[in-house]
Each structure stands twice: as structure tokens, then as C-alpha cells.
Structure 1
């Protein structure tokens, strides 16, 4: 059931760094953004995801009773389906509208390909590929989290960069411009381990150093360039086991020099620009329960 007079549909892309929202109604589209959440698999993941989504909806001027459907792609939904179901239930109650929850990478695929074959290559804080093959089968590659997977991700880059700083500090590694960047980011080398280990979200903290690695690589630092090249190879290897074309999304996949290097490795014509931004995939899933993505979706109506 929906609130009387509610006409808007909302699509949400909830990552670990940011929450992006688009609301479509009779007046067109409005967008909003809020801080992300650590992922549904984390101990307080559902509560923080609810807060992030509601903040994003408020930023897009959409409150309770104004929406007739909401589609959410949330980081960690595939790894924690029970948490995804709880998020759908809590948001449906808070919004007063039906809610569909799936992974952030799945809504990215819906935005990029609208149900056609291809692979979204989502590289941000983490890494996950969502493939829809030519037989209509949907599967993911990687997405195993920061300790066992997420190859080439922002967390991966940040960890590799900080490890290079520590090795250089000990004389076991090459000098690197990353040392000065790490100093401004987290203090002297011997303070860096505690800076990461003591963080509320260590993976996200590591990923916050990734832009420094990319910037140093762009400016010619040899150590940083090697790290970025290794990250690109890791992502390209996953792509080689998935269906082309590939649509890169996320803060790392679309940032330079990572983006250009990935296009070069994958080859001409194999990389496409997504048709729509990930929140628009949320709009599709909110309105249509018959897409190829449906088996990944948790749907709940307001009680």
C-alpha cells in the first residue's frame, strides 16, 4: 500500500562512502546525497544504512508519504541477504511505501544495461563485478570483502600504498612520494598502523588513502604507478572471466589514471559508458519486479 497522493519513485545507490538518491515524479527528477554506510554485513550495518538512505531522501526533498516505491542498492546486500531483508522492512515502514533492496552493484548493472548482457565493474571502496550473461544468468565475481577479496579496490590501493610507505621507512622499499602524502593523511610512519586499526571502519579508512596513490601515480611516482598497474591487472583478470562489454562504475574505476589503464588493458570497444547512473537502476527495480535482477531483490511493503 502507498500513502494517498504519493507519486514519486526513488532510486538509491548506497555505498560505503556516499549515498546517492534520485527521485522521479510529475515535476521531473531531483537528486540528493548523504554520507554512506559501512555495509550491511557490519554489526550495525542495517541501522546505519537506514539513517543514510533517509538522509539521502531528505536531501532530495522526499519524505514519508511522498513516495509510491523505493529501490535501493546497498553495499553488502549480496553477502548479507538477511540484513537486506531487514533493511527493506525498516525502510518500508519509515517511507510508507514498498521498498526493494538489492546490492549497489546490481542497481549499477540495471542503470548501465537495463537488463541486457554485460558486466558492471564496480571498483570503489570494494570491488565486485555483476555479470548478466547471454543466457540471462546473473552472477557476481569478487565482492568477497576487504580481507579475502576486493582485488584492485580503493581499500586494496590504500593498503598497498601504506605498505609501500612503511617498507620505504624501514629501508626495505624504494623511496616514494607516498611518504609525504601519508604523513599529511595519518601522521608519521609508526603512527599509520594504529590509524587504520583503530578506525571505526578500517577498510573505508584504507580506501581514503587511495586517492593519494592515484594522484602520486599521475605525477609520475614509480612506486605508486606500480601499485596502480597491479590493481588494474587484478580487475582486468576478473573481467576476463565475465561477459563483455564492461561498464566501469565507482570512484576508483572512473578515476585517472586507473580508468585509462583499465580501458587499455581490456581493449578497444570492450568498455562502455553506463546508460544511466546507478540510482536510476534503483528506479527500474522499484517499478518493475520482472527484471533479470529479481532473484537478488528483497521486497517489502509497509505494515
Structure 2
């Protein structure tokens, strides 16, 4: 069996699965800030090759049959997705298919059936396919104009609450001490975020502190989480049920339980993995493996395919 590669390229991490006759091997490397970011394509390519090297033990693997990539930002930047496909195809000498990370997640969870993947991690995007076969996305607009309820959104809201409390305009909050440990005194926080080469990822790194504070009963943190959940639930109201919750925020407590309650527990599902891929790997990687070799799925209009030249 020819080796087939699936890639889930997010802003925080890049995960790879390589499937062949011996089973599935996985690898991981740091993610990339998004295809439309400065040097986004080059950084994405470097991230994919690093994760692929971790999975195969080769700096530039050869003998690959096909590669499927789900990359953060691909739907909003199709030209950059095409450039990534061409660059990766040239690097590994194999056909490459690139679409968004949320699209491969939908393919892995639903396998072309109706439903919505609600991916809430560093960013937020909903990928929905209805009973009529209409495929579309909601949000996914990035941290400055969208990504409502995401990790970067929660982190920003939490840090703003810290600054507001420091000025005496906002309520005292346990987030203040957590922010001090995370990044320093309140006055230093704006500069810390501004100096980052990936501000959304930096903001999202504070989101776990918001979730823990909310779980521990801090009223300000609980209000931040509740507002994030409302934003995502509102987006879901415009998408097809059932819903599959994916991503580090959507599956973390207390966010996950609150979102399930808002959507109605009977409408949140975990469908069987899309065959024939290994059920031990995460849905996004299963979807990437599927799209690497199958150009007939309902997702094809979102896919950029390139052959090596």
C-alpha cells in the first residue's frame, strides 16, 4: 500500500498521520499563524515538513502516494492554499490536496453527511453541510474581525477584564493574579501581546487561565466564558444540526458543558469515524487522509489540488 499522509495544520500545532500497510504513524510540530499571515505559506510549509519528519524520521520524506492538508486560514485565502499545495507537492514529490482545517474535521467526523463541525480552538469556525448538500462556513474570519468565542477571544476578554480591574473600572477578579503569573503586571500585558509574532496564539494561551478561574467560581471569568458560549451558540443556530464539538476550547470544561446545554444535548453528537481510516486518530486527520485520495466528496470545491512538477 502506498503511503498516504493526512495533515491537520492549526495555529497552535501541526499534526500528521502517515498510513501504509504497517498501520498509522503520527508526528507533531508547532503550528503556523495562518496562511494569510506574513510569510504564512512559508511558515505553513515548514511546519508541515517538520511534523512529517517527526512521523517518518526523514527530513524530506519520499515515496508518498498522496498528501491531504487541512490548514488554518485556507478558506479565507484560497490563493495561499494553492501556493501551499504547490510548494508541498514540489517538496515531497507527491500529489497534494489543501483545504481548511475545519473542512478536514467535517470530513473526518461526518464523512459527507449533514451536520456541523464546531471547531473552537485558537480561532472559531463552523463548517456545515445541510440535507440539500449545501456546504458553507460560518465565522473563521480571524482574530481581528471574527473568531467569536475562541481561545484568542477568551484570552483577550480575560486580559481586558484584568486591565479594567486594575484601573478600578471593572470588578476585582482572580484573573489578575493569573495574568501576573502568565505575563507580568497589568501594565506590561498590552506590550507583551503586541510584541508577539502570533498575537492570536499569545492571547489564546491565556484562555486556559480564564477557564480554570471560571471553573473555580470567579464571577468575571464565568461571565467571559458565558459570553463566548453565547456567541458560538448563536452561530450554531444558523447551521445544520447535529453538531460535533472539536478543538481545545470547545471540548474543555466548563466551556464544553455550557455549550452543550446551550445547543441541547440531544443535538450534539460524536458520529462514527469516516471509514476506512484508523479510528484511533483524531477526526481531522481522518478527514485529511480521506480528501488526499478522494476528489468526489461534497468538500471538493474547497480543495486546492496540485501535482509535483
TM-score (norm 1): 0.97
Question: Any gaps of 5 or more consecutive residues in structure 1?
Answer: 1-5
1:111–1:274 Cα contact (<8 Å) kept:
no
Deviations 1:159-211 (A, max 9, x none): 00000000111111111110011001110000001011111111111111101
Picking from 24, 36, 42, the partner of 1:41 is 36
Q: What is aligned with 1:209?
A: 206
2:53–2:61 Cα contact (<8 Å) kept:
no
Q: What is aligned with 2:159?
A: 162
Q: What is aligned with 1:243?
A: 240
Deviations 1:77-115 (A, max 9, x none): 011100000000000011111000000000010011000
Question: 143-152 or 61-70: which moved more?
Answer: 61-70
Q: What is aligned with 1:125?
A: 122
Q: Name the CA distance, whole Å, in 1 between partners of 2:10 and 2:270.
A: 20
Q: Using the TM superposition, give the Cα deviation of residue 59 of structure 1 relative to its aligned residue in structure 2, in angstroms.
A: 1.2
What secondary structure, in the 3-state scheme, does the structure 2 residue paired with 1:91 have? helix
1:111–1:275 Cα contact (<8 Å) kept:
no
Q: What is aligned with 1:196?
A: 193
2:52–2:61 Cα contact (<8 Å) kept:
no
Picking from 24, 28, 33, the partner of 2:19 is 24
Q: Name the CA distance, whole Å, in 2 between partners of 1:56 and 1:138.
A: 30
Aligned-residue CA RMSD (Å)? 1.0
Q: Name the CA distance, whole Å, in 2 between partners of 1:42 and 1:96.
A: 26
Q: How does 1:128-143 map to 2 (within 5 A)?
A: 128-143=125-140
Q: What is aligned with 1:148?
A: 145
What secondary structure, in the 3-state scheme, does the structure 2 residue paired with 1:269 have? helix
Picking from 90, 95, 102, the partner of 2:92 is 95
Question: Any gaps of 5 or more consecutive residues in structure 2?
Answer: 274-282
Picking from 31, 43, 50, the partner of 2:45 is 50
Moved over 4 A (4+): none
Deviations 1:223-279 (A, max 9, x none): 101100110010000001000000111111111111111111100211112544211
